[in-house]
Structure 1
Amino acid sequence: MRPHSNRFNASTWLALFTLAVGSPAIGEPANLPTGYKLLYDQKCNQAAALKDFVLTDPGAWRFSKDDSGPALELFQQSDYSPAVRSPLNIALIADKIFGDFIFEADLLSTKEPYPHQDMCLFFGVRNPTHFYYVHLAVAADPHAHNVFIVNNQPRLAIAKQTTKGITWGLSQWHHVKLERKFSDGSIKVYFDDMTKPIMTAEDRNFAAGYIGFGSFDDIGKVRNIRVWGSSVETTKTQFFARPEPAR
């Protein structure tokens, strides 16, 4: 019988080293850029989470909890009339302006399936008439499933590449990721598969701005919102409305 050895072979040491320093932290995006850190983390697992946001209509949102777990829910159409053709249901992380970032969240559409069934991600928001948004829809056309810019005129599609659409399904949560880098204007959108973007765009009209989520004119839920970047600027948001304190 061979004597017992306490030595590890080379492959064992390599595996341990990879686990120690070569793998991203739990829940951290792969290949996180140098200098990026977690800047915002909201699990949306309690009603107080709503206080983090400014909204086009706070009355259209609520905290909900069912068999799929807790979430913030857009349960009805917002009472909001945009100055130019653009989404109605918007919730932005209040008082935080982000430059380059990686934004992740879990989304669930509660709308019955139809071609324009959507949820949206907003970024580079300067004010209600200057911002970008990602429209995630079942079927792509000139007004759906694209990256759009709202630049004091009706929204304009700017994606260089998109898929033919996505499947929201019924009562199905989906993980989304949005990457923004202003130096080269790049915008990348991921849906469930975090290795291959479903949309890409390039634009440098708006640099830093507020970011958030919502829908053009549908309903749905959101949770597990996180933002990574190198820095965040704290500036009081001067537009949209804040939820009223609970009584």
Structure 2
Amino acid sequence: MYPGKSIAILFFLFLLSTEVFCQDIPDDYQLLYEQDFSSNTALNEFETTDASSWRISDQSLEIYKAGNYEPKVRSPFNIAMLKSLKFGDFILEADLQQTGKEYGHRDLCIFFGMKNHSNFYYSHIASKPDPHSHNIFLVNDEPRIAIGKRTNEGINWGNTNEWHKIRIERNIDSGSIKIYFDDIEKPIMETNDLHFDYGHIGFGTFDDTGKFDNIKIWGPDFAPDNDSFFPHPLR
């Protein structure tokens, strides 16, 4: 095979790997939100648990140090919530880069169905599963509980400069929640739960660091909302 042809094939396969997720969108869904953080003002679209720990870095949203926030009930400490929109049914895709050290709970989190700072879901995507790691969690006015009906054996974040693609599919009528990581063929975790319907979407980590980029959210509709979510640090 000619060298030029080999390079062309590899490039084509790369394009397939980066675009495979967004090809599978229901006909009745539309693109409701998109952000690539090419502007430093993009951070204004988010409300954070502590603004001093978040920044726009290398055209991505970065949590780069622990924030000064302690939730009312046991749940993640570092959250950047998309503040102006609430979503019901949705498909979310984003690129994630975990920039911390390797250990069992090395994580990044995606939040959704967020009603307030003590009522929401989040997906804790981590290296190894245990009762408090790598699962779908419910925060419902009490410390988070794992509600995943199926999870895989954990994921490999790799080096601190590696990007990964995630996809979340949610249906509020059936309660279906599916989380995909670098592979649309089989979710890494899934469950059914009907506690919350429309709510905010957010990004963050329990107590690590990382970056988020190329966020896209599709759905049939959304609900506008401008209420303050994290009124003040709690510690």
TM-score under structure 2 length normalisation: 0.88
Q: Does the aligned pair in 1 maintain the 2:125–2:133 contact within 8 Å?
A: yes
Calculate the aligned-residue CA RMSD, in Å.
Answer: 1.4
Tell me which amino acid in the other structure corresponds to 1:50: L
Query: Paired residue for 2:92?
Result: 103
Mind listing any 5+ residue stretches in structure 2 that lack a counterpart? 1-18
TM-fit CA distance, 1:31:
3.2
Alpha-carbon distance, 1:28 to partner: 6.8
Tell me the residue number matched to 1:4.
none
2:45 to 37, 52, 65: 52
Distance 1:169 1:241, change over 3 A: farther
Alignment of 1:187-226 (within 5 A): 187-226=177-216
CA–CA distance in structure 2, aligned partners of residues 162 and 39 of structure 1 = 29
Secondary structure at the counterpart of residue 43 of structure 2: helix
Aligned to 2:225: 235
Matched, 1:72 2:61: yes
Equivalent residue for 2:36? 43
Quote the Cα distance in structure 2 between the aligned partners of 1:236 and 1:62: 21
Distance 1:28 1:164 in 2: 22
Give the one of 110, 114, 119 matched to 2:108.
119
Contact 2:178 2:187 in 1 (8 A): yes
Answer yes or no: is the 8 Å Cα contact 2:20–2:184 preserved in 1: no
The counterpart of 2:173, out of the listed 166, 183, 196, is 183
Provide TM-score, normalisation by structure 1: 0.83
1:57 and 1:241 in contact (8 A); partners too: no
Name the % identity: 47
Matched residues, number: 213
- Classify the secondary structure of the residue corresponding to 1:177: strand
Q: Distance in 1 between matches of 2:86 and 2:182?
A: 26
Show the counterpart of 2:14: none
Which of 143, 152, 157 is matched with 2:141 structurally?
Answer: 152
Cα distance in 1, alignment partners of residues 47 and 150 from structure 2: 31
Shift in Å at residue 27 of structure 1?
Answer: 7.5
**Larger Cα-atom Rg:** 1
CA distance in 1, matches of 2:183, 2:200: 25
In structure 2, give the amino acid aligned to 1:240. Answer: F
After TM superposition, the runs of 4+ consecutive aligned structure 1 residues lying more than 4 A away are none
Distance apart, 1:64 and its partner CA: 1.0
